[in-house]
Amino acid sequence: MFGKFALTYCHSLVQEASTAELSWITRELSRIGDREATARDFHRIVSLIALCPFEAGDARTIQVVRLYFALLRSLKPLRCPAPKAWRRIRAEQARCSRFAAVALDRRVRIELGSIT
């Protein structure tokens, strides 16, 4: 029961970030550009978050999403026997990347605000 709650909580965290608008500077820094974030972008974006001197108060939720991403990644053996399930897992990993990009965007906006 706890596991189901944890998965639902993680899914709601990453789903919430899917509607947030990213600044152009965050899109450039993360090398997303005009496309949507993919699962392959996750580690690069999280590395950029670690470089930001300002924290936006969401360090714990970023850790939770990192663990969730790792859990999803551990399901890679489903790739061949269950391709539909694997596509859904990859889509959820892409939402994790989007969450990380939104977290990075918050830090970038704090940094830019401190400059002006």
Q: How many domains does the chain have?
A: 1
Dist. CA 48–CA 43, nearest whole Å:
9
Whole-structure pTM value: 0.86
Dist. CA 99–CA 58, nearest whole Å:
11
Reported confidence tier of residue 2, pLDDT bands at 50, 70, 90:
low
Nearest CA among 104, 89, 116, 114 for reference residue 10: 89
What does pLDDT average to over the chain? 85
pLDDT recorded at residue 103: 93
Classify 101 as helix, strand or coil: helix
Enclosing domain of residue 63: 2-115
- Write the single-letter amino acid at 80: C
Among 40-44, 86-90, 103-107, 110-114, which is the least confidently predicted range?
110-114
pLDDT recorded at residue 93: 94
Mean local confidence (pLDDT), 61-86: 87
Using CB atoms within 10 A of its CB, is residue 2 exposed (0-12), middle (13-18) or buried (19+)? exposed
